[in-house]
Amino acid sequence: MKSFVIPEIYKSNIIGKIKEIRRKNDKLKRDFYPTVLDLGSVKFLIARHFGFCYGVENAVEIAYKTINENPEKRVFLLSEMIHNPDVNADLLSRGVKYLMDTKGNQLIDWSEITRDDAVIVPAFGTTIEIQNKLNSIGIDPYKYDTTCPFVEKVWNRANQIGERGYTIVVHGKPSHEETRATFSHSKEKAPTVVVEDIEQTKILAKYITNELPSEQFFVDFEGQYSEGFNPENDLKRIGVVNQTTMLASDTQGIADYLKQVVIEHYHLSNDEIDKHFANTRDTLCYATNDNQEATYALLQENADFAVVVGGYNSSNTSHLVELCEEKLPTYFIQSHEKILSENEIIHFNLHTKTEVTTTNFIAKNKKPTIMLTCGASCPDAVMEAVLLKLISFFDESIEVEKVIQKLDS
């Protein structure tokens, strides 16, 4: 796999060594057992896979290369390049400006952009409408394009099945940049509808089986269907693709559910399924899959609590938090600065969408075991800072470098 040039500020000697040892000993990435760091007074279980994925490293490399190669130009990002506050803050500190926020609201009017400006397309990709807008200004939308190749793979697969006469069902968060981009590209080739979760999927199924009147569809899926969508005709042949950062198990569950609905409604044999349902398993992102599988393996072990690091608006990170919350106390933090002391931590509550403070989160009357992982847009340097901050609360700990050396022996 291609290697990328990543700024030193995002690298970590400690995390880098751990990842390299695991890569060397598990080249096929089949061992999802967590890395165990037993420091004597505290033990850490670190997920097998975490941190910058291929698509994020590609985006980071292109963004910094764009800045360095255009010192005389104004450099803009369509919106946050990735959902990580450290990376985005550093880009802003270098003079980059956002044209839109993550919801697509305009921050800088298009009239202020000229053909001489550099505009970076974020890793989530962008809509065809915005690509056309850039072209109309005289800016090549592909010149500084950091769209993740695995997002583009979803677009290509949607186009392929759309050309074969299937309607596209996109599993994703309707307001998310990637879902908006996928929806835009998909609707060029086929009728398209977005479902956010299994509950919306069950509602959609009732239009496939004609249990609900077609006019109600436009209420239930307001803002989530392509222009001219006809539920009576457009749900007879469907294929499911996904926002790549969703839970793979949720996407598969949605696809399996709709497939079974179609089979029962049309009384299909195994040889007839593809008449009404397209096989789209290959749209699941490998990195999202690996991180989630590593988290499942992590949760097979016992621990006192979990710390998940990443941007609060990061979809893939929030899903890791959801998995951990099912088993044990979980603290979702952006950086080590949220750990105020051994008695106090500020963390994000996914359900209320607010930061909360928890006291006495570390049980110091025993040797605690702490699970640690992060999202695909979290730099190794941030993970290292969190690890070292937690270690600092235990005076009798063995040096982490010595423990890592033993992993390689």
Residues annotated as catalytic are 178
Sign of CA dihedral 346, 34, 400, 18: negative
Element (H, E) at 83: none
Helix ranges, 113-167 (H): 128-137, 149-163
Helix, strand, coil share (%) of the chain residues, nearest 5: 45, 15, 40
Q: Six-digit token pair at 217?
A: 């569809």
Q: What is the DSSP string of 100-115?
A: B-TT--BSS-GGG--T
Where are the strands (E) in 172-259, listed by range?
192-195, 238-242
Residue 19 CB neighbours (<10 A): 18
Q: How many CB atoms are located within 10 Å of the residue 8 CB?
A: 6
Residues 6+ apart with CB under 8 A from 242: 154, 170, 171, 172, 251, 283, 284
Question: ∠354-358-359 over CA atoms, to 5°?
Answer: 160
Classified as helix, coil or strand, 286 is: helix
Nearest CA among 22, 32, 147 for reference residue 79: 147
Which residues neighbour 369 within 8 Å (Cβ) at sequence distance 6 or greater?
Answer: 42, 43, 44, 45, 301, 302, 303, 304
- Of 173, 192, 161, the C-alpha closest to 250 is 173
Classify burial at 357, counting beta carbons within 10 Å of its beta carbon; exposed 0-12, middle 13-18, buried 19 or more: exposed
Which tokens go with 204?
């959609």
Q: What angle do CA 183, 187, 190 make, to 5 degrees?
A: 130
Q: Tokens 């497939």 map to which residue? A: 259
DSSP at 337:
G
CA 179, 184, 188: angle at the middle one, nearest 5? 140
The separation between CA 206 and the C-alpha centre of its own chain, rounded to angstroms, equals: 30
